[in-house]
Amino acid sequence: MCGIAAYLGQRLAVEILMDALRRLEYRGYDSAGIATLEHEKIHCCRAVGTISVLQRKLTDSPIPGSMGIGHTRWATHGSVTELNTHPHFSMNGKFAIVHNGVVENFASIREFLSLQGYVFYSDTDTEALVNLMAYHYAKEPANATKDRFLESVRKSLLHVRGTYGIAVVCQERPREIIGARNSSPLVLGIGKGELFLSSDVASFTAHTRDAVFLNDNELVHIKNDSFAITTLDREEVEAVRQQVDWDTVAAELNGYPHFMLKEIFEQPQALENALRGRIENETATAHFGGLQMTTDELRSINRIIFCACGTAWCACLVAEYLIERFARIPVEVEYASEFRYRNAPLDPKTLVIVISQSGETVDTLAAMREAQRRGTRVLAITNSVGSTIAREANGGIYQHSGPEIGVASTKAFTSQLCIVALLALHLGRLRDLSEAEGMEIIGAFKQLPSQAKSILDQSAHIQTIAARYQNCSDMIFLGRQSMFPVALEGALKLKEISYIHAEGYPAAEMKHGPIALVAPQCPVFCLACGEENIFEKTLSNMQEVRARGARTIVVAREDSPIGATDDVIWIPPAHAVTSSILATIPVQLFAYHMGVLRGCNVDKPRHLAKSVTVE
C-alpha cells in the first residue's frame, strides 16, 4: 500500500530516490519523504501530498548524501499529516526508517517503550518499530561479536506481529542500509558500485536489471557496495540474482495523457503477449509451461476455487462461466479476504487458483497460504514476475502484460480473461471438448487483438457518450451470463475512476428490487453482447428500465436488432470465449472519459492504491 526505496552508491541519493518514488507513487500518494545520511548526519525532507510537493521542497532546500531512504505513503495508521509522513526517526534521532506494511502489535510495543522513557511524536505504527530498534541498539554491548546494527533490527523484527517491507539507516553506521520483509515486497537492485532497495523492481530498472527478490523473514545488510542476506534466525541466504525483463521506457506515458489510457490502448499487445506460445494448433488446445501439474493430475481435478480481490475477482467470475461451460468442471469464486477465514472444505481433488496483477495483494496471498497450509495445490495467474504470490504458488501462468501503472486495472484484467479462456480450452481438451470446438476457440483467439483494436478506435465516440452522462450521480450496469462479471467490472471502474456510485447486476435481477432505483438521473449501461440465447431477454430487461424513465447505453454486436436506446456502442461479433474481453473495452473507455470529464485523477484515484498490501 506504500512504496519504499533506498540507495547506496556514489551518486546524489536524492535524485535517485525521487526518481524511484515517482515510479512508486501508484502505490500511495498521501505524502512522501526522503532521509539521506552523510558524515554521520541524517538529513530529512517530508511533505504532505504527491511527490511533486516533496520535489518543490527539495528544490528549495536540497539535502546532501550519496545514500538514503525514501517513502511514498498510503495512510494506514494516523491521518495524512507531515508528522505521520515517513521516514520516521527514533527519539534519539539515530535511526531512520521507511516502512510498507502494518505492525499489528504496535500499541504494546509503544506501551513497553513508553515505560522505558520513549516519547512518540506521530500516530504511526512505524515510529514504534524504529524506536524499538534504537532500544535494542542501546542495549547491545558495543563490543558485541555480532553486528550491533543488524542485531538491533533483527531483534526488533522478532517482536513484530504484522507485515513489513522496510529500509533502515543508523547515524553511527554511514554507508550501511538494512532492509527486511515480511509479506510486503522488497527487492534488491545490484548496480555497478551502487545498490538499490525498493517495493517494486520497476523503480530502479533504469539503473540496473540485476535483481534479488527477498523472501519473507529475510534481511539484507548493505555495506558500501556489497550485501549479505540472512534470515531472522541468522541463517545465511544465498542471493538468487535475476535479470528483470521490464524496460522502464515501457512504464512511461509515451505521449498518452494518462497511464490508464495508455494501458487501455496497450490491450491488443497485452492480449498477444498472453496468447504467445500458448496455442497448439496441432492438438487444438492451449499449452502452459508453468502449471507444474501432469495431465493426469489436471484430469483428476473435480472442483476449482478461484480467489482474488477487486477487478481480479471479476476475472474469476468470467473464469467460472468459461471453465464450467467448456471444461465441465465445477467452479466456485471467492473473495480472497473471505476465503481465508471461511474454512471451506477442501479435498485433494480441489484446485485453488488465485489471480493477482501485482502478486502482492495481502488477502490473496493469505488465501493462497491458507489453502496450501491445508494441503491444497494453488496455481497463480499474475502479471508480476518474482512477486510473492508468483514465488510461493505451486505453479502458475504469467500474464506478460508489462507494467500496469494506472491504479485502475485495465490491460491486466483483459489479459487475465484471455488466460482463463486459454485455461478453459486446455482443461476442456483434456476432457470432452472436441477438436472442432477447440479449433473454433483458437480461431476466436486469433481474431482477438484486431477486434480489440477496432473497439479502441471508438474511443472518441465513447467520449461523446460519456459527456452526456458526466453529471449523473448513480449508474447501473446490467449483463447476463458472462456479461454479468463485465457489468460488475464496469461498475467498479466507474466507481474508482469517476467517484460516481455505480452497481452491476445480473439483468434479470432488476425486477427483484434494484429497479426501484431506476429514474432519469440513473442511467443504465446494458451489455447485450454475450451469449446469443439470452440476447433478447437482456433487451427486454433494458426496455423495462427504459419504460421507467432510464436513459440507456447499450453495448451490442454490430447490426444486432437492439431496439430503442439512447446510445449504442457496437462491437464485433465474438465467440463466447472472448466476448467478455471485447465487452470490457467499452466500459473501460467509458469510465476513463467520465473520470477525465469530471476532473478526477484517473491514474491515482483518491483513497486507492495499486497494490493492497494491508488487510
25/496 with CB nearer ligand AGP: 496
Strands 378-382 and 350-356: parallel
Binding positions for ligand AGP, rule: CB under 6 A:
309-312, 356-358, 361, 364, 407-409, 496, 611-612
What minimum distance in Å lies between the beta carbon of 361 and ligand AGP? Answer: 3
Phi and psi for 545 in degrees, rounded to 5?
A: -80, -30
Q: Beta partners for 194?
A: none
355/522 with CB nearer ligand AGP: 355
Residue among 163, 219, 602 nearest 360 (CA): 163
> Catalytic: which of 2, 314, 472, 600?
2
275/612 with CB nearer ligand AGP: 612
184/541 with CB nearer ligand AGP: 184
What minimum distance in Å lies between the beta carbon of 34 and ligand AGP? Answer: 26
What minimum distance in Å lies between the beta carbon of 392 and ligand AGP? Answer: 14
Give the position of cell 529475510.
218
496/603 with CB nearer ligand AGP: 496
Cell readout for 2 is 506504500
Instruction: Give the residue closest to ligand AGP by C-beta.
Output: 310
What minimum distance in Å lies between the beta carbon of 139 and ligand AGP? Answer: 40
Q: Where are the beta strands (DSSP E) in 365-521?
A: 378-382, 395-398, 474-479, 501-506
Q: Where are the beta strands (DSSP E) in 375-462?
A: 378-382, 395-398
Q: Beta partners for 221?
A: 178, 228
- Neighbour-count burial for 109-145, b at 16+ CB within 10 Å, e otherwise: bbeebeeeebeeebebbbbbbbbbbbbbbeebeeeee
112/256 with CB nearer ligand AGP: 256
What minimum distance in Å lies between the beta carbon of 583 and ligand AGP? Answer: 16
CA distances from 425 to 214, 429, 438 (A): 35, 6, 7
Whether 264 and 456 have beta carbons less than 8 Å apart is answered as yes
Cell readout for 603 is 491514474
Spatial separation of the C-alpha atoms in residues 32 and 55, rounded to whole Å? 10
What minimum distance in Å lies between the beta carbon of 404 and ligand AGP? Answer: 9
What minimum distance in Å lies between the beta carbon of 296 and ligand AGP? Answer: 31
120/499 with CB nearer ligand AGP: 499
Q: Which amino acid is at 367?
A: A
Q: For this structure, is 610 an active site residue? A: yes
Q: For this structure, is 493 an active site residue? A: no
> Catalytic: which of 94, 493, 495, 610?
610
Helices and strands, number each (H, E), in the chain: 18, 27
Instruction: List residues with catalytic annotation.
Output: 2, 610
